[in-house]
Each structure stands twice: as C-alpha cells, then as structure tokens.
Amino acid sequence: MKSFGFCVLLFVAGITPPMLAQQPAASQPPTPTNEFVPLSEAAPREVLPATPLVFYAYGFVWVALLGYVFTIWRRMARVERDLADVQRRLKDGGGGR
Amino acid sequence: MQNRSILVPVLLCAAAVMFFRAPFMIDAAPYESTMGLIQRIFYFHVPSAMVMFLSALVCGVASAVYLAKRSPHADAVAVSAAEMVVVFGLIVLVTGPLWARKAWGVWWQWDARLTSALVLWLIFVSYLLLRRFAGAGSEMVAAAVGVFGMANVPFVYWSVNVWRTIHPNTNVVASLIPEMRVPLYWGTAAFLLLYIALLLTRMRLEASRMQLEAAYAEIED
Amino acid sequence: MGFFHTVWTIARKDLVIESRSRELAYTTLFFAVSVVLVFSFSFVVEGVALTDAAAGILWVSIAFAGTLALGRTFERERQSDTLKAVLLSPVERPAIYIGKLVGVLLLMLVVEAVITPVVGLLFQAPIDRAPLLLVGLLVTGTLGFAAVGTLFAAMLIRAQSRDVLLPVLLYPITIPLVIAGVRGTAAIFAAEPNLAVAQAWLAMLVFFDAVFLTLALWVFGPVMGE
C-alpha cells in the first residue's frame, strides 16, 4: 500500500512540469525534418494545441510502466502463495512416502 | 534461487530519481522550431525505442543460447526480454502516433521506423501468445521464434524503408544542440536503468516459477 | 542414408500420398481461388480494380493457401505419428526438414501456377510482361514462406492451439517477404512498369531465403530433438 502511494506521488510529480510548460508560438507543417532548429532562429507562426497530446503521451508512459510492474507483482504473489502451499504439503506428507 | 540482492531496489530508485528530474531538464531545453511543444515526446519516445530494440536483441541472443545449451537461465532471460519488448514497444507505438498527430497531421503513416517497430512488436506478441497457449514444451519453439524475430529486424527495416518516409532521419541526434542532447541522453540512461531493473525483477518471477515447478515435480514422486 | 537420398525419399513419400488422394491439391487450390474472388469483390469498384490490387491479392492468397497447406501436411504426420518415427531413424535432421520443405514448396507452386493466371484474368494484370522476373519473385517468395512455415508447423506439431498459433507466428515473421513480393509484383504490373525495382526486390527475397533457410536448418535439429 505504501509503495502504491509512493507511485501515485511520483506520477503526480512527473506530470506537473509538462502541464505547466508554455505553449509555443510555432506552427506544424508536415515537412520532414533533417535536423533540429531552435525556435529562436525561426520566424513566428501560429499554433495548434499540443499540450493535451504531450500530457497523454507522458501519462501513458507512466501507466504502461506502472501497470507492467503491477502485473509482475501480482504474478509473483500468486507463485509465492502456490510455492508455500506446495512446500507445506511436502513437509506434511514427506514423512510417510 | 532466492535473489534478495540490493540491485533491483537500487536501480529502481536511481531510475525514479532520473525520471523525476527529467521533466525539468526537458522543460529547460529549447523548443524546436517546426514542432514546438509536441517534440517533447521525443525525449521519451526515442529512449523507449532504443530499449525496445535492445531487448529484442537480448531475447534473440538468449533464445539462441537456449537452443544450443537448453539452459533454463537463458530461457528466463528470453521470456523476460520478450515481455520488455512488448511493454516498451507499446510505449513507442502509442507516443509515436500522438507525436505524429500533431507533427504530421495524421495518426499513422506507413513509414519505415514506426512500421518496423510495429512488426517487431507483433513478432514478440506472438512469442508471448505461444508461450502462454502452446502448452508444455513451448520453450524450444518460442526460442526459435525469438531467434527468427531478431534475425528479421534488418529485413523488416530495409523492406519498409524503401517506401518514402517522413520520419526524421538518423542524423537528427547528431545535429542536436547540447541543450537538447543532454535531456535525451539523460532520458536514455533513465530508461536503460529502468529496463535493467524491470528485466531483473521479471527474471526473479521466472526463478520463483521454476522453483514452483520443481516443487510440483517433487510432490508427484 | 545420404542427405539427398533422405530428402528425395521423404519428398517422394509426400508426393505419392498426395497423388493418390489429391486431397491437399484440390482443397488448397479451391481455397486459393475463393480467396482471390472474395478479395476481388472488396477491391474492385465499378469494374475497375484499385492500383496494385492484383499484386496484393495474389500474395495474400498465396500466404493464406500456404498456411492451410502447411497445417494439413503436418496434421497428416501427427495423426499417424510418422514424424516421430522419422526423427528416430538414423538420418540427418536437416534432410528431414528439406524433404518436408520440398513437398510443401511443390504444392504451393502448383497452386500459384493456377491462381496467377486467374488473377491476371480477373484484374487484367499483365502476367506475361516479364515472365521470368515474375516467376523468380513467386518462387523465391514461396520458398521463403515455405521455409519458415515448414519449420514452425513441424515445431508446433505437439503444441496445443497449433491451428491458430501457426498463422499467429508465421505472418509477422514473413511480413518482409510479403512486402517484397507485393512491391516487386506491383512494379511489374504497374501501368508504367519498373523492372529495376522488381529486380531489387527479387534480390532481397533471395537474401531473405538464404538467411532464413540457413537459420531453419540450424534450428530444426535442436527444436525437434527430445
């Protein structure tokens, strides 16, 4: 439970900076780029909202990774429960074989 | 094979710290002129893609070792690496279209990189389906699939690449200014640490499973 | 028993069985033609096929029919448990693999010999424009598909859910093959044909076949062993 709370805290901390980041005054022509040119050297153009997409992308990364860790944790719990069960049965029935 | 080492928690903490710091570094990096904010996705899309291909390689090598030597350890590495390919591949395939929607105007373009990633992802999903549903003795078959999957990577890439592509070229990374390169390397390092931590954790699960199977075998005697 | 002798014995066994009942040939052929027709209804609009539709439909039919043929060939082996018997005999494993491969390859080539003219007819595709190149593409593509397919079908013989797992495993791995086949064939069929492009795809197919045939030969022994 504690680790889950810690995960939630990390998640919130992780997503705040992108959410607070400023929207740029640049446009999105669908041309292929061969190198990156910093904004300061480009002419000013108009913009479409990109923040939600970045938010979703970033959020998805967290969801996917945490979800995967969660599935490992659950499978581990099941295996360890079965293992304890079998070991108990071995111990009980081990004497008279 | 009870692995109570300190390695996994340490790696996870290191990765968590790096991920915590990453958004601030990304925010401090300058905006790219044509894409603006959406290009931020690049800082975790690219490291995820690198980890995905690395994991495919790991799975292929481990599968080859398993075919040659039938070592259960190699099999554990192979299945864990295959799951990593699927998880990180999913991240690549979701963040890619989100980026594409803004940068190119469409969710999907049949371009080389993303399509190759999709095909590779499909191969390793089929690997996991095989292991899940084929029943006993599927490790060998899966190992063959792993080897074929890894060998297929250059072919998939070449064949898809001959089509026209609007995905940024490989010389992009070399042409980055330092302010952008640093967050990218930071992100890559963070993802690598995370990958190793996850791989070791998954292998621990595999080790427990093998212990359980050994116990079942013993109880049947 | 020598390598080629083993190959010939196994291939001949399959051919003889097949020539007696012709079950596989007829059913696979009919299936392939049905697939071509079903796709034609989807891709022909007002009597005109979409560009490159002919090439795509041809290769998809080959892939589907091939999967069926592979499944059926090894189902026969499984029912009589003959594969295990062959594996136990003192012959080289790779020879067994090649023997089975030859049988599957011949069956698929027979099917292609029929559906290529059918596709040419239904889509007015110029199959006689560069016959050697087209045959080259078909043979190398089929060889690659059959190589990977024979290996996987043999490996899955004792697995559960093998009917659905064969295509699940086979299709993603043979995607580069299908891409090369379709693009090469489309380059030949196009209104302005580009034979150089078709030749480039043919070269890739040859390379693919070489790599995957070698891999399959290497992997077959360990995987089938007990």
**H or E segment and range at residue C45:** strand C44-45
Q: Domain count of chain A?
A: 1
Distance of CA B159 to the CA centre of its chain: 21
Query: Within the 114-143 window of chain B, which residues sit less than 8 Å (CB to CB) from chain A?
Result: none
Q: Which chains touch C (3 or more CB pairs under 8 A)?
A: B
Tell me the chain B residues in contact with residue C156 when contact means C-beta distances shorter than 8 Å.
134, 141
| Residue contact B219–A90, C-beta within 8 A | yes
| Residue contact B140–C151, C-beta within 8 A | no
The model's confidence at residue B27, banded by pLDDT at 50, 70 and 90, is low
pLDDT of C161: 79
The model's confidence at residue C90, banded by pLDDT at 50, 70 and 90, is confident
Q: Return the higher-pLDDT residue of C5 and B25.
A: C5
**H or E segment and range at residue B127:** helix B112-133
Residues near A31 by beta carbon (within 8 Å), at least 6 away in sequence: B34, B166
The model's confidence at residue C2, banded by pLDDT at 50, 70 and 90, is confident
Is A17 part of the contact surface with chain B (CB cutoff 8 Å)? Answer: yes
Q: What one-letter code names the amino acid at C170?
A: L
On whether the CB atoms of residues C66 and C149 are closer than 8 A, the answer is yes
| Residue contact C155–B67, C-beta within 8 A | no
| Residue contact A18–B90, C-beta within 8 A | no
pLDDT of C59: 94
pLDDT of C129: 84
Q: Dig out the tokens for C119 from the structure.
A: 């596709």
Preferred mutation among B140, B155, B156, B163 to probe C, highest tally of C CBs within 10 A: B155
Backbone angles phi, psi at B47, to 5 degrees: -60, -40
Q: Does B157 reside within a domain?
A: yes
Give the number of C-alpha atoms closer than 13 A to the C-alpha of residue C137, restricted to the C-beta side: 31
Q: Return the higher-pLDDT residue of C204 and B105.
A: C204
Q: Dig out the tokens for C9 from the structure.
A: 């014995």
Is A30 part of the contact surface with chain B (CB cutoff 8 Å)? Answer: yes
> What is the distance in angstroms between the Cα of B67 and the nearest Cα belonging to chain A?
26
Percent above pLDDT 90 for chain B? 23
Preferred mutation among A22, A27, A33 to probe B, highest tally of B CBs within 10 A: A33
pLDDT of C66: 93
Alpha helices per DSSP H over chain C: 3-21, 23-43, 53-80, 82-88, 93-123, 131-155, 162-173, 175-189, 195-224
| Residue contact C212–B129, C-beta within 8 A | no
> What is the distance in angstroms between the Cα of B119 and the nearest Cα belonging to chain A?
20
Mean pLDDT of C96-111: 92
The model's confidence at residue B187, banded by pLDDT at 50, 70 and 90, is confident
Q: Does B133 reside within a domain?
A: yes
The model's confidence at residue C214, banded by pLDDT at 50, 70 and 90, is very high
Q: Which residues of C105-125 are buried (b: 16+ CB within 10 A; e: fewer)?
A: bbbbbebbeebbebbbebbeb
Tell me the chain C residues in contact with residue B117 when contact means C-beta distances shorter than 8 Å.
none
Structural domain including B194 reads 43-164+181-219
On whether the CB atoms of residues C44 and C174 are closer than 8 A, the answer is no
Compute the distance between CA of residue B20 and CA of residue A11 in angstroms, rounded to an integer: 9
pLDDT of A6: 52
Is A47 part of the contact surface with chain B (CB cutoff 8 Å)? Answer: yes
Is C196 part of the contact surface with chain B (CB cutoff 8 Å)? Answer: no
- Lowest-pLDDT range, B18-22, C100-104, C120-124? B18-22
On whether the CB atoms of residues C155 and C224 are closer than 8 A, the answer is yes
Q: Return the higher-pLDDT residue of C197 and C102.
A: C102
Q: Does B64 reside within a domain?
A: yes
Compute the distance between CA of residue C161 and CA of residue C167 in angstroms, rounded to an integer: 11
Q: How many residues does chain C have?
A: 226
| Residue contact C208–B141, C-beta within 8 A | no
Q: Does B53 reside within a domain?
A: yes
On whether the CB atoms of residues B59 and B82 are closer than 8 A, the answer is yes
Q: Return the higher-pLDDT residue of B65 and B99.
A: B65
pLDDT tens readout for residues B86-122: 999 999 998 888 877 777 677 776 666 778 889 899 9
pLDDT of B87: 94
Structural domain including A32 reads 2-94
Percent above pLDDT 70 for chain B? 69
pLDDT of A63: 86
- Chain C residue whose CA is closest to B70: C222
Compute the distance between CA of residue C12 and CA of residue B221 in angstroms, rounded to an integer: 46
Mean pLDDT of A51-73: 82
pLDDT of B165: 46
Alpha helices per DSSP H over B29-71: 42-69
Tell me the chain B residues in contact with residue A32 when contact means C-beta distances shorter than 8 Å.
165-169
Compute the distance between CA of residue B80 and CA of residue B62 in angstroms, rounded to an integer: 10
Residue pointed to by tokens 């998805």: A60
- Chain B residue whose CA is closest to A33: B168
CA triple C169-C172-C176, angle to 5 deg: 135
Among residues C216, A89, C75, the alpha carbon closest in space to that of B141 is found at C216
Q: Does B82 reside within a domain?
A: yes
Q: What one-letter code names the amino acid at A32?
A: P
Is B151 part of the contact surface with chain A (CB cutoff 8 Å)? Answer: no
The model's confidence at residue A23, banded by pLDDT at 50, 70 and 90, is very low
pLDDT tens readout for residues C126-157: 888 888 899 999 999 999 999 999 999 998 88
Q: Domain count of chain B?
A: 1
The model's confidence at residue A45, banded by pLDDT at 50, 70 and 90, is very low
| Residue contact C156–B152, C-beta within 8 A | no
Compute the distance between CA of residue C112 and CA of residue C31 in angstroms, rounded to an integer: 12
A in contact with C (at least 3 C-beta pairs within 8 A)? no
Chain mean pLDDT for chain A = 64
Is A80 part of the contact surface with chain B (CB cutoff 8 Å)? Answer: yes
Is A77 part of the contact surface with chain B (CB cutoff 8 Å)? Answer: no
Percent above pLDDT 90 for chain A? 0
Query: Within the 201-220 window of chain B, which residues sit less than 8 Å (CB to CB) from chain A?
Result: 201-202, 204-205, 208-209, 211-212, 215-216, 218-219
ipTM (interface pTM): 0.84
Compute the distance between CA of residue C62 and CA of residue C182 in angstroms, rounded to an integer: 11
